[in-house]
Structure 1
Amino acid sequence: MSEWSEATDVLTEVADRLLEAARSGKPCPPVREMLPDHGAWTGYAVQEINTRRALAEGRRPVGRKIGLTAPAVQRQFGVDQPDFGVLFADMAYLDGLPVPTGRFLQPRAEAEIALVLGSDLVGGPFTVADVIRAVDFVLPAIEIVDSRIAGWDITLVDTVADNASSGAFVLGNTPVGLRGLDLRLAGMTMTRNGQEVSTGAGAACLGHPLNAAVWLADALGRTDFPLRAGDVVLTGALGPMVPAEPGDVFEAHIDGVGSVRAVFA
């Protein structure tokens, strides 16, 4: 067996482990020690295996999430850029309506700014002006991050392989245009059951949420899966993520963007 075939077998084995953890509801040990190296590319190779499996099952991609946008989190993982994962339609839940906690293993909630695209971003490299032209509107969002890896014992390659620790997301219902909106200064407050648990601002997201979107557009523009019109882009956490339990009600308010609620059944 060639070294390439052996590496492919290992990547598939890692993808199998993560998929089984999701299906069984039982978190698995970290996958990093199974992989040939700990570079991000290895994690993305695993992520793509499970993405293509999801597509073959008929799951519909509706956008991307960006992670590791906060400088402190990047330092924690020893990286100097964000990561990304795929959003599917069956991961979306409605503002204020129940989110079934049984589908998650170790859920945590974080408030974000979501961009919804009105045109494709294919090719690149892109400027911030390109991205602004492509954005149709903005929505407040609560991302429900989750890890298939026990105890959130993750490094960069673990989280990338695990679809950037994606779980689900809830979008607000009132679209807002970008014109005249300074997302960098947009303050965020998130409450859990009425108690403030997370605060931040757009500047926490790679200096500006549009900076994160430019990075993502460049990363995907020349791949088989560039950003397309209609895609939702979760640009990254504006404040600390918070553990979620059954019965919790999270509400995030972002200045100039609006509010959104995630209700855990």
Structure 2
Amino acid sequence: MENQDRVAAAESLLAAYDGEAVAPLSETYPDIDLEDAYAIQRIQLDRWVAGGRSVRGHKVGLTSRVMQRQLGVDQPDYGQLLDTMIHGEGQALDPADFVQPKVEPEIAFVLGRDLAGPGVTVVDAVRAVDCVLPALEIIDSRIRDWRIGLADTVADNASSGAVVLGTRPVRLADIDLRLTGCVLAVDGEIAATGAGGAVLGSPINALVWLANTVGALGTTLEAGQVVIPGSLTAAQALRPGGTVRATFAGLGTVTTRMELAA
């Protein structure tokens, strides 16, 4: 892609946050590749930061084998978590902030020290984690009808929307992330179940992958940042007025609701 096309694609995605999803970039720009997609993501990030927002963390997507097979890829992708995207336990979400939201349960890492790749190992990642929290990721797509390929979701900040963090921190030494089970309930009904092993075998592997991938590009995962490593279950639709509760074995619960305007 020419740089002017990358800028035009980024501007179309930025405009879509107002509620009107766009056609898949892979259709509008048939020659788009992964390098183009991350460049488009970066253009948007630079615009947000220039407008006063700040990066408070990162997300890893496409960590389940099912989703990788669906999109024909063999590795995850990543996006950025901005200050305006992070919400507290029980805090109501505004439907106007989303285009076509879905919800996923995740185990969030809170970093206690910087983590700079490449060369990061599992041991390095474990040492860098201050604690883990139960979390809900609200994924969203500015691509019409979720008709996404890899380039589409990467360009769209890895289909990021928001993150709701629980308030009960747990040390890594007190939990087996691989075996941590989760029950996701939507509007009081069980919608999905899963376990940490669905995330690249263990969520810590997603943290290692992220640190090494962005580290090679000169980005350090910083102390105090939040990293969400991927969903334990399939994503579920989240409607206006809906409520969601995720219960994690050994980690507790986290809830949120999509509150209709009065």
2:184: which partner in 1? 190
Q: CA-atom RMSD, angstroms?
A: 1.1
TM-score, scaled to structure 1: 0.95
Aligned counterparts of 2:125 and 2:166: Cα–Cα separation in 1: 21
Q: Name the SS of the counterpart of 1:230 in structure 2.
A: coil
1:219: which partner in 2? 213
Aligned counterparts of 2:8 and 2:220: Cα–Cα separation in 1: 27
Equivalent positions of 1:28-39 (< 5 A) are: 28-35=22-29, 37-39=31-33
User: Is 1:118–1:135's contact at 8 Å kept on the other side of the alignment?
Assistant: yes
Instruction: Give unpaired runs (5+ residues) of structure 2.
Output: none
Instruction: Give unpaired runs (5+ residues) of structure 1.
Output: 1-5
2:118: which partner in 1? 124
Alignment partner for residue 156 of structure 2, among 162, 170, 174?
162
Alignment partner for residue 9 of structure 1, among 4, 25, 30?
4
Equivalent position amino acid for 1:14 in 2 = A
Alignment partner for residue 70 of structure 1, among 41, 58, 64?
64
Q: Name the SS of the counterpart of 1:260 in structure 2.
A: strand
Equivalent positions of 1:136-175 (< 5 A) are: 136-175=130-169
- Taking every aligned residue pair, what percent have the same amino acid on both sides? 46
Question: Residues 168-210 of structure 1: CA distance to partner in whole angstroms, max 9, x if unpaired?
Answer: 0100001100013110000000101110001100000111000
Equivalent positions of 1:94-109 (< 5 A) are: 94-109=88-103
Equivalent positions of 1:30-69 (< 5 A) are: 30-35=24-29, 37-69=31-63
TM-score, scaled to structure 2: 0.96
User: Is 1:97–1:263's contact at 8 Å kept on the other side of the alignment?
Assistant: yes
Question: Residues 101-156 of structure 1: CA distance to partner in whole angstroms, max 9, x if unpaired?
Answer: 11100000010010010111123211000000000000010000000011001100
Question: Residues 44-80 of structure 1: CA distance to partner in whole angstroms, max 9, x if unpaired?
Answer: 0100010111111110110001100000100011110
1:180 lines up with 2:174 in the alignment: yes
Aligned counterparts of 1:226 and 1:181: Cα–Cα separation in 2: 26
Residue 36 (structure 1) shift: 6.2
Q: How many residues align?
A: 259
Equivalent position amino acid for 1:175 in 2 = P
1:79: which partner in 2? 73
1:26: which partner in 2? 20
